[in-house]
Amino acid sequence: MRTFQIPPDLVLGCAAVALGLCACTAQREPLPSPPVADLTPLTRGPKQQLKALNDRFQSSPNDPELNFELAETLATYGVYAAAETYAKRALILKPQNFKAHYLLGWIYSQTPEKALDAAAQFDMALRYESKSLLALLRKADALRAASRFEEAEAVYQKLLDLEPTFPQALLGSAKARIALKKHSDAIPYLTRLVDNYPRYGAAHYSLAEAYRNTGQAQRAVSHLAAFEMAPNSEPEFEDPIVDSVKNRSRSHKSLSDRARKVANSGDFTEAAKLLEEAVLEDPNYISAYADLITCYGMMRDREAAIKAYERGTAVRPLAVLENSVGLLFKNTNDPVKAKAHFLKAIQLDPNHYTSYENLGHMAFANASLNEAMAHYQKAASISPYSYVSWVMIGTIHLRQGRKQPAQTAFLNAIRRGPEVDAAFTEVRQAYREARDERAWVEFAQAALPQVTKDGLASIAEDLQGVIKN
């Protein structure tokens, strides 16, 4: 029997005949030969990972779970043709396999011209789990990708009958309706989405499209701006099979993405480990160094954070690194160094608005309101859709007795960005801290017509409550 090795030619696969894998029986179709895959574009970590899997495969080529694992791992790195073959092998070795049909459908869906093949595999998966919300969603998405919009709409509706609030299904149904020129029908789905998920970038984009096609240009512009603030943001949902594919990746970007999720859950130690692995995989990956500064700072390991900053700047001095280490010094009561790094960030990138905001926060904390105002106004001029600067501009106006400019700034905070609820909460808190209930009611009266016109139903309802009470 021939043995197989990846190095030196970096090829994954082996001769099917040599492994004795082509013998077919009356009960099943012939087993496809293990594919040949060029791994040259992959970096060190993925190559090592695939080599270890291939070594196991040599001992147990007919293990359906191992074939499935190879399909997952190859799909992780975009080697879809080889992944497809291993998924098919897993299905032949273990028929009536929901997971393998689902994985094969997802692999097909990564190639646009195979969208109908993807839909067929998700349909096969549904034979074994007929009420799988994820399989219904993936099938509908694949049908929509194949321009089968009416069929896609029907599947989305079946899903929404089972789970009426599934955000990705609401968006998909709205997109299918837009493709069918049912723009007015799509708007209620999308307004519900952006009310519940203000940072859902794709929903804002589709809503802008629907408004534009129904002659509501001003609303379209507002939602297009919201999309530009968070183009890739969407509500998270668990998809165990696809998540397993993504979590297998040892690429620097995937490691960094996972680190951010882990950090958001509060585990900064694990996040730092993933980030260190990311920079080991790609020593030039600057954003990982910036995240390391933050993680080590949250772990109160100032020395490690500073070393991460030094390692990053040795690769390339960038504003994001200066801003991150500036926050480290700010949060460890070293305002002189913090300010120096924020100013260095602006020197490197004059449009780095978050550094202006951080300078504003420092000046505001020291009661230097005029200095703070200048920094916040500069930040707002660079990024007019970031609510933080507008809230602080309004807060300073309010503290200095300028109620009308405060109203304008606070209204900008609510109307201009995608984080509507967060902005509204901050505005309400500013009036509470000012202890001026009358000014709060006056703001509600002035803002209500505008937020109603913008379709911000939940904010309008809250303002109506303020006025009535």
- The CATH number of whichever domain residue 431 belongs to comes to 1.25.40
Question: Which of the four pLDDT bands, split at 50, 70 and 90, describes residue 22?
Answer: very low
Partners of 12 in beta bridges:
37
Q: State the pLDDT at residue 150.
A: 97
Cα distance between residue 420 and residue 195, in whole Å: 8
With beta carbons less than 8 A apart as the criterion, state whether 391 and 410 touch: yes
Picking from 20-29, 75-84, 111-120, which range would have the lowest pLDDT averaged per residue? 20-29
Cα distance between residue 180 and residue 263, in whole Å: 42
Which amino acid, one-letter code, is at 224?
Answer: L
Question: Which of the four pLDDT bands, split at 50, 70 and 90, describes residue 422?
Answer: confident
Query: For residue range 51-103, what is the model confidence (pLDDT) as tens digits?
Result: 999 999 999 999 999 999 999 999 988 899 999 999 999 999 999 999 999 99
Which amino acid, one-letter code, is at 448?
Answer: L
- The arithmetic mean of pLDDT across residues 396-417, rounded, is 91
With beta carbons less than 8 A apart as the criterion, state whether 271 and 262 touch: yes
Which amino acid, one-letter code, is at 13?
Answer: G
Q: State the pLDDT at residue 258.
A: 86
Averaged pLDDT score across all residues of the chain: 88
Candidates 418, 417, 421, 363; CA nearest to 392 is: 363
Candidates 70, 135, 60; CA nearest to 105 is: 135
Q: Is residue 430 part of a domain?
A: yes
Host domain of residue 273: 251-314
Of 95, 130, 164, the residue at which a domain comes to its end is 95
- The dihedral of CA 413, 419, 424, 430: what is its sign? negative
Q: Is residue 468 part of a domain?
A: yes
- The arithmetic mean of pLDDT across residues 107-116, rounded, is 96
Of 61, 95, 129, the residue at which a domain comes to its end is 95
Of 295, 314, 333, the residue at which a domain comes to its end is 314
Q: Which residues contact 433 (CB under 8 A, 6 or more apart)?
A: 395
Cα distance between residue 238 and residue 133, in whole Å: 11
Q: Is residue 259 part of a domain?
A: yes
- Biggest CA pair distance of the chain: 87
**Two tokens, residue 469:** 């009470």
Q: Is residue 5 part of a domain?
A: yes
Q: Which residues contact 146 (CB under 8 A, 6 or more apart)?
A: 115, 116, 119
Q: Is residue 357 part of a domain?
A: no
- The dihedral of CA 203, 209, 213, 215: what is its sign? positive
Question: Which of the four pLDDT bands, split at 50, 70 and 90, describes residue 27?
Answer: low
Which has more pLDDT, 413 or 14? 413
Residue 156, by phi and psi: left (phi above 0), alpha (psi -120 to 50) or beta?
alpha
Q: Is residue 6 part of a domain?
A: yes
Q: Is residue 175 part of a domain?
A: no
Map tokens 């894998």 to a residue.
Answer: 21
With beta carbons less than 8 A apart as the criterion, state whether 351 and 341 touch: no
**Two tokens, residue 18:** 């040599």
Q: Is residue 191 part of a domain?
A: no
- Number of structural domains (the chain) is 3
